[in-house]
Amino acid sequence: MQPVLDYLDQNRERFIRELCDYVRFPSVSAQPQHRKDLEACAAWLKNHCESIGLQTRLCSTAGNPIVVAKTPRKPGSKRPHFLVYGHYDVQPPEPFELWKTPPFEPRIEGRTLFGRGSSDNKGQHLAHLNAVEAYLKTGTELPCDITFVIEGEEEVGSSNLGIFLKENQAELACEGIIISDNGIPSLKHPALTYALRGILAIEVILHGPSRDLHSGIYGGSVNNPAMALCQLLAGLRDKNGRITIPGFYDDVVKLSTFEKKQLARLPFNEDAFRKFMGVPELFGEKGFTSVEQRTARPTLEINGLTSGYQGEGSKTIVPSWARAKITFRLVPDQKPDKLRKIVLAHLKKLCPPNVRMEVKSGHGGEPYIVSPTGPQARAAMRALKEAFGHEPVLMREGGSIPIVNDFKKLLKAETLLLGLALPDDNAHSPNEKFDLDCFEKGMRMGAFLWRELAS
């Protein structure tokens, strides 16, 4: 094992340089104009995997290609097989003006690397690649076979990964999946995440008059779609932060006393958190702690509002239409398909007859939960402790990694969520960053993990 750890130490500068190279690709999957950047990024990743000794191929899909990279297999070997999942696509960088330096020009300040995708998710899966590189380049025998599956559509719902998994089910059959695409409370609180929230995305457009109307000449005689949209959405959440859609909470599994206790172990300072969020006051569903609100309770968030005049000054119109982009976060055992029907039926019921409602269905992903006390989870906890030098915690994650459910269904394997991001890493926000200590401890964790999992 020591040669592996030494290799990681000796190559740390190069690893950082390579991460910078990787972050430079504006691989924004939500924006069609970046299609070529995604291809270039995938090509870079394929080359990198090959150069460290992995058997690599680029698998084309209906969307962006998937990079599959495997440790060299020994013929007839009965070694366990694990899969490492990651994604090379990133969130849109907008609004650009809030970035201190350009999102795709990585910048290092102290022990922090700034750049879109640095922690979500390029830096996190690169740590795993570096750990495996250390095994391969030092000739240290890996106690298991490993396959990296790194896709390019996570930020837009991974719609082609499921098809890919189905088509490659036999090759990908494995004992477990490792994903580092989430966070830990601090470097002193390495964590295994045992639950994820699901997601349901919809877009609601209310159509009013066939064109923007002069608000003086016509205002007062037709409903204003922007006002109708506000009224439609306003009623969906009450003053206690509870979603009012009938049936919305029906399938929510309540937190057990054990879980509440585990979540209460997580470090949390309300005032510091409020300041970090930059809000005058926190707000969430009544009756739950902030940690519970963010990880174990479903939510409705308006992600975007668009209607009428957006420019400087004023334009005195009744806008022709108004649009809201909405995502729900779901918790076990809520199902996105069932909730989509419930939500649409409720919206239809609420929509006044003087506007026409159009609803576009976006992506959906089921919530995930796994027992935190199984043998693989215990192995991961040992690797975490050894790499970080601190007692790991058990936590739930508020974000969604819908693919975890596909892995469970298609590969019949559970996923270990071993995030490396810090709470202030600004994933999905301007000035996204990745802590270089997380990067390096993540590589060590990766190195220990294979030993512990195979033992």
Of residues 100-139, those binding a copy of itself (CB under 8 A): none
283 binds a copy of itself (CB under 8 A): yes
192 binds a copy of itself (CB under 8 A): no
Output 222 or 264, the one with its CB closest to a copy of itself: 222
75 binds a copy of itself (CB under 8 A): no
Binders in 5-34 for a copy of itself, by CB under 8 A: 30-32
From candidates 166, 188, 214, 286, binder to a copy of itself by CB under 8 A: 214
In whole angstroms, what is the distance from residue 197 CA to residue 296 CA? Answer: 7
From candidates 338, 408, 430, 454, binder to a copy of itself by CB under 8 A: 430
246 binds a copy of itself (CB under 8 A): no
> What order of strands is seen across the sheet that includes strand 107-109?
107-109, 112-114, 433-435
> Smallest gap, in angstroms, from Cβ of residue 242 to a copy of itself?
11
Q: Which window, 76-84, 136-144, 186-194, 324-332, contacts a copy of itself (CB under 8 A)?
A: 324-332
From candidates 40, 187, 302, 359, binder to a copy of itself by CB under 8 A: 302
In whole angstroms, what is the distance from residue 260 CA to residue 278 CA? Answer: 27
Give the tokens for residue 381. Answer: 């906890």
329 binds a copy of itself (CB under 8 A): yes
Spatial neighbors of 254 by CB under 8 A, at least 6 apart, are: none
Contact 390, 188 (CB under 8 A): yes
Contact 161, 385 (CB under 8 A): no
- Interface mask (CB under 8 A) for a copy of itself, residues 349-388, using x and -? ---xxxxx-----xx-------------------------
Binders in 141-160 for a copy of itself, by CB under 8 A: 156
Question: Could you tell me the end-to-end alpha-carbon distance of the chain, in angstroms, rounded to an integer?
Answer: 14
212 binds a copy of itself (CB under 8 A): yes
**Residues 158-182, buried b or exposed e (16+ Cβ, 10 A)?**
bebbbebbeebeeebebbbbbbbbb
Alpha-carbon separation of residue 122 from 104, 113, 225, 234, 289 (angstroms): 12, 12, 41, 38, 32
In whole angstroms, what is the distance from residue 132 CA to residue 331 CA? Answer: 34
201 binds a copy of itself (CB under 8 A): yes
455 binds a copy of itself (CB under 8 A): no
In whole angstroms, what is the distance from residue 415 CA to residue 442 CA? Answer: 17
Output 282 or 345, the one with its CB closest to a copy of itself: 282
From candidates 75, 76, 95, 139, binder to a copy of itself by CB under 8 A: 95
> Smallest gap, in angstroms, from Cβ of residue 105 to a copy of itself?
19
Q: Which window, 60-68, 110-118, 231-239, 436-444, contacts a copy of itself (CB under 8 A)?
A: 231-239
Output 174 or 322, the one with its CB closest to a copy of itself: 322
Q: Which window, 36-44, 77-85, 125-133, 303-311, contacts a copy of itself (CB under 8 A)?
A: 303-311
235 binds a copy of itself (CB under 8 A): yes
In whole angstroms, what is the distance from residue 112 CA to residue 388 CA? Answer: 18
289-295 long-range contacts, CB within 8 A, separation 24+: 289/263, 289/264, 291/263, 291/264, 291/266, 292/255, 292/260, 292/263, 293/241, 294/398, 295/195, 295/197, 295/263, 295/395, 295/396, 295/397, 295/398
Bridge pairing between strands 191-196 and 433-435: unpaired
Output 131 or 330, the one with its CB closest to a copy of itself: 330
Output 242 or 265, the one with its CB closest to a copy of itself: 242
Give the tokens for residue 429. Answer: 């926000």
206, amino acid identity: L
Give the tokens for residue 138. Answer: 């030092």
428 binds a copy of itself (CB under 8 A): yes
Output 130 or 327, the one with its CB closest to a copy of itself: 327
Output 73 or 356, the one with its CB closest to a copy of itself: 356
Binders in 337-356 for a copy of itself, by CB under 8 A: 352-356
Output 438 or 447, the one with its CB closest to a copy of itself: 438
Spatial neighbors of 429 by CB under 8 A, at least 6 apart, are: none
Binders in 43-72 for a copy of itself, by CB under 8 A: none
